Structure 1
Amino acid sequence: MAEKRDTSLSSEAVVPTESGAAHRHAELVTVIDEARFRYHVLDRPTLADGEYDAMMRELVGLEQEHPELRTPDSPSQKVGAELSTDFASVDHIERMLSLANAFNAQEMAAWNERVVKEVGTAPAYLCELKVDGLAIALVYEKGRLVRGVTRGDGRTGEDVTANVRAIKGIPSQLTGTAEHPVPDLVEVRGEIYFPSAQFEEFNAWAIEHEGRSYANPRNTAAGSLRQKDPRVTAQRPLRMVVHGIGARRGFAVNSQSHAYEMLRAWGLPTSDRVKVVAALDEVLAFIDYYGKHRHDVEHEIDGVVVKVDDLALQGRLGATSKDPRWAIAYKYPPEEVTTKLLDIKVQVGRTGRVTPYAVMEPVTVAGSTVAQATLHNQDVVKRKGVLIGDTIVLRKAGDVIPEVVGPVIELRTGEEREFEMPGECPSCATPIAPQKEGDVDLRCPNTRACPGQLKERVAYLAGRSALDIEALGYEAAAALTCPDAGEAPLKLEGELFELTLEKLAEPQMYQKARGKEAAEGAQELVPYFYTKGTKAKPSAPTKTTVLLLEQIEAAKTKELWRYLTALSIRHVGPSAARELARVLGSLEAIRDASVEDLASVDGVGPTIAQAVVEWFAVDWHREIVERWLAAGVRPSVPARAAGPQPLVGLTVVITGTLAGFTRDGAKDAAQAAGAKVSGSVSKKTSYVVVGENPGSKAEKAEQLGVPVLDEEGFRALLAGELATAAEPDEAAVADGPQAAGSDAASAEAAVDAAADAAADADEEIA
């Protein structure tokens, strides 16, 4: 058998006393039920066949001697295991209430004021994440799970016991400790959820095997829990987090946090993102933090639940007919909404990829107004099953690109129509096709002369992961390369450093018409880089235009790696560019290097090396570099450290936000000390440095046994106080992936990580 455990029961027959027969019978029922469930549902047996048969014989013998023990629930009266359920209605022992909601700080302050007024003091509050899952109540008697019931209407729910037992992490038997022994009875409240990281993978499987995709983790969790066959539920990666106690007998509890301590001691899955605070400002700080970090959690959340911690005060506050007065849910702005799909259009990206995107009725989602969303390619449009004219579900997780989840089929009228991918580039009308056999994406091969591709490349080179020219945003890039009227100042990005005020005088772009006589929605052509001009005041460069030219001039001495990134060479993101710049030292040297020379650079390899050589083999590509150099571009290269380099031969991965370093600063410090800085964790990694919000890299380090350092440990490493990766100083190694770091989120880290991961990806609709 695959698994072994100590059942604390002998498989040899025993002769119990009259008083011990019922106890022995109960023990056998527990072990046999568990063994059946693991064998038939989970396919992970815990007992050998001989052990199982011996226990069954003993059970039957006891029931023959004591007929009163033979009940319909006895394993002797059932064939196999319980493999399906009809979801019978079951009353909760204690009613499950809902929660009142707050949507801003003012409403939270008003709730806090009511609480303080009622109890006469400022109470301690327990803050926890509001899991976007399926509410469940588990009933344990003498530590044994006897029932799992959905919320239902709060009084009556569906019996999903068999399915609940199939979920990993939910114990069939509570453990208990000397301080917190197993209770006589406890009704545990919690949420069943579908882990966010596994949802996309599951959806890919569902599309392949079921021909459909699922809308979101919450609905998928609900559907997975309500499967008629628990074996299906067992195959889904469902998890649970408990957050409260309902009915109870055989123990006392004095606070919400005390209850969580007990739940954890009994072996139930509790959250480690729970905090007891003393004042409203700390509550709001907790809410604000997870508002920024809600996508760093392993499950979906839609807010924060705040509870009065003291149970005696909870009793004084009482409840309304539907929700407790001692708790409230702060709801974050919704991330999933519905809107009308008005059209599907296409755009061309900086590497020529032609991408369909959705044009929608503007809708507010995750705190911002969205009117467009990428659809990636024609296969994705078909897979999502959306038609032009559909009501669609739109999702925007934080600051990422908005995603069309799928159509609301029930609202179709019959007037919807299918999208057809065009055969030509939307910018230059060149026929589009896959770049190589087997490619899903269609590309425009007119790389040099396509205005759309040039616009995207210019916008990219001005971005934070390249030359970081703040005044050169997407609209300015469009005005430079393909204005609505007037001559385009840029025909090639090589002309960037040749721009003058005179060259910027012609481009005009359509903008919203202004003035009292302007009609609603009307547009007018106006100079983009100059003021409109009047009889009294002639047109002149705007302040932003003057700033743009100043920033372009200042960019002439930016770091070499930024220039290399700005060239839009496939596969070359900031990390590879840093390594090439560090080793080769100039654009000319990189241009003239062979594949072998480039591939020998740490962290580059043959694929990137080949891409660099192929890029510089193109005449007009070399022209870009030559014109930049002729215009006075002199990229800077940090001087090599003259002192000792204690990290030579070590590979370091840096993840999360460090209080004393920017992301680039941490990389530069490690590289100056001789280390190779990698973007991924492997068995060859010497150290993983973690800050606030470390993400999956810290978890992988823990799995692989790679030493994990916090910021203090990182500084010790840079100082040469940790001699080798094989023998790290334990005092400087962080206790797992939760190493100390900054409390602030790092937008810069997110930008750089995205640039590294998708160096050759096109810019899409944001």
Structure 2
Amino acid sequence: MTKEEAKSQIEELSKELMHHNHQYYVLDNPEISDYDFDQKLKQLQKLEEAFPEFKLSTSPTQRVGGDVTKNFETVPHKTRMLSLANTYSKEELEDFIKRIGKSISDPVEFVCELKYDGAAIGITYKNGILTRALTRGDGTQGDDITANVRTIRSIPLQLHGNDFPEELEIRGEIFMLLEGFAKLNQQRIEDGEEPFANPRNTASGTLKMQDSSIVASRSLDCFLYYILTDDRMFDNHFESMQKAAQWGFKVPSAEKNYIAKAKNVDEIFDFINYWEEHRHELPFEIDGIVVKVNDYAQQDKLGFTAKSPRWAISYKYKAEQVSTKLNSITYQVGRTGAITPVANLEPVQLAGTTVKRASLHNADQIEKLDLRVGDHVYVEKGGEIIPKVIGVDFDQRPPDLEPVKYATHCPECNTELIRKEGEAQHYCPNDDGCPPQIKGRIQHFISRKAMDIEGMGGETVDQFVNEGLISNYADLYTLQKEQLLPLERMAEKSAQNIIEGIEASKSIPFERVLFGLGIRYVGETVAKKLARHFANIDTLMAASLEELTNVDEIGSRIAESVTTFFSDPAKVGTVERMKLAGLQFEVVQQEGESTKLDGKTIVISGNFERYSRKEIKELIEKHGGKNTGSVSGKTDLIVAGEGMGPSKRKKAEDLGVKIIDENEFAELIGD
């Protein structure tokens, strides 16, 4: 392929993927399958790797993340980010409208919108390109989380059309989708970690994570609802939202009744009452309704208080909870052996659904609530698919109820449970003989982020284990098509796809194989760090606790889990079988790798023309260096671009740290 052909293909693929991304994540109108989209994205990634000089600054491949930010720079807001005054009553909302009527003699039109329960964000675009994203912070300044915001697929990296201003800021709310939140919590429970409390806090915490690839893996979404420009382009808020949609922003949809105009308090309450009844049908959480004066000239006349605009208010819904009877407690077993207690309830209506079960998390939670079978308990749906028990109605407790005696043996295999000091969960230690653990580990191993074996899913794993074909993930690599054909609902083509998928997984790189082993506390990021540090499985298996904790960001809990895993002869035997089968158990040396930056700690600051920040970080690692986000006495070098932070520059000068530009960096690595 010639350079011109590559450049043309990169531009065409980028444009096509941006279009499909907008159709799927903003308009909810996909035109191609997820598989076809992923294949096109992989094709673009390969072209960009082969011809990095043609990679666009707004490339769709940025959505997968990869940038690591050690410290988030604090940046002043160009215009203060205020909060809204809240009310929970119709009377206070009526008073708000009366106050506006006293200040504005002309008729007033209002706009009603959903109040998304997430984290406020302000995003700046220059010449249609996303350049900066800031959190609310204290309202006058916020943290620069641009690298993380770029991974959110509903936020455009480049605006549509050509009638947008040279510079604009758009504000909105980033939140976590309920389905993604439930899956994330289920994974945490299976990994023996405490589940997150609610989607709002999880979204806010995710946005401040250092590794943007983790941010990209979580179900974050965004609605944008307030435009700021130097020269006002619109007469009213509703009109500005219609134009923002044309520019490619995901804004509240009038078609879905996420935004509506209202002339008086009755029409406002029609909107409020509708969503109080239907809010639980939404794929995300809202905690109320925002009411705004639509006309910008009227907004200007009403002005602001020290904290809030006088032209807007939020009406907040009260948290919904119900009381029902606790009939029994059962126990579920995750893939790591973690035991999760579940409350089985007298069926009751909550948040638009019939609730029969609720999470109890662990033994400490049951003891803290003083829970007893037969109690009437308060149940709340805090963003989770399975609601949670939050308290006991002691006034209704019969006098003869006994305190709950937590399970002592596994409900699946009857093995005595263990609980390690300092941990919240009980565990079944029979990891090689407990059916849910066996199936769960294999399902994790074949998952997309691990071995990505096409043609297999949870039902297939259950079938293979139940038929005695496999009992661990190494058994997958001895399967023959002839063994699969007699199985129920297994056609020739399906069997062939599975066998080919298993064979193809042998080329999956070491860090994903390591993640697929399912070692407790070893997620994607930790697996990558361990793989890069130890280079192969044999060195890792032989590593001591001290050697493991010497790895950057590897603590004692992870180190103990790794050594425990590899001290088990059965697990080592499974690894040896997979080595013989041809899986990748060592880091493959990339073309162009060197030790030119070996042992050097390097900080990147500012914006660059020749490389993206991600590319510089990858080149530092490729040549043996280490990326850090802050300047210290251990910093050897700073690669500085345009707009390097003045505080970083001063600190570097005070410490005598050498500062080079991107061209000098290129010479240093011989690029």
TM-score (norm 2): 0.46
TM-score (norm 1): 0.41
Higher relative contact order, chain-length normalized (CA < 8 Å, sep 6+): 2
Larger Rg: 1
Identify the structure with the greater helix proportion.
2
